[in-house]
Amino acid sequence: EMQLVQSGGNLVQPGGSLRLSCAASGFTFSRYSMNWVRQAPGKGLEYISYIDSSSSTKNYADSVKGRITVSRDNAKNSLYLQMNSLSVEDTAMYYCARGRSSDYGDYYLDYWGPGTRVIVSS
């Protein structure tokens, strides 16, 4: 059974840092690109980061660029999101999601972790 187990969310003060983790099982993690999506309380989905299967390509939304770093360890079947200089606007549920490409070439998020909550507050 496929699983994405997330951890690392916490209450942190403005300006602080957090490292989120997403541990995968039930599929060959090293063959898939991964993504991070966040959702502020009562708000919509915001796509924030992408990493390909070999870590050679990474991408970030403008809202987090320069403050967030995505990484992965295929030997440990794990995805990470290092978040620095956090502000109250970063308060959200953070989801990791597996990316899937079809023969057509389109790309979608086919399996999502349960989320980990980040609260930035003094």
Partner 1 sequence: DIQMTQSPPSLSASVGDRVTITCRASQSISAYLNWYQQKPGKVPKVLISAASTLQSGVPSRFSGSGSGTDFSLTIFSLQPEDFATYYCQQSYTMPYTFGQGTRLEMK
Amino acid at 90: D
CB atoms within 10 A of CB 48: 24
The arrangement of strands across the sheet holding 78-83 comes to 3-7, 18-25, 78-83, 68-73
Q: From the list 18, 35, 81, 92, which residue makes contact with partner 1 (rule: CB under 8 A)? A: 35
The strand pairing partners of 6, in sequence order, are: 22
Of 46 and 73, the one with the shorter C-beta distance to partner 1 is 46
Closest CB to partner 1 among residues 56, 102: 102
Which amino acid, 20? L
Binding of residue 9 to partner 1 (CB under 8 A): no
Out of 44, 56, 66, 122, name the contact with partner 1 by CB under 8 A.
44
From 59, 71, 85, 121, residue interacting with partner 1 (rule: CB under 8 A): 59
The answer to whether residue 42 forms part of the interface with partner 1 (CB under 8 A) is no
Tell me if 108 contacts partner 1 by CB under 8 A: yes
Instruction: Decide: 23 and 116 in contact? Cβ < 8 Å.
Output: no
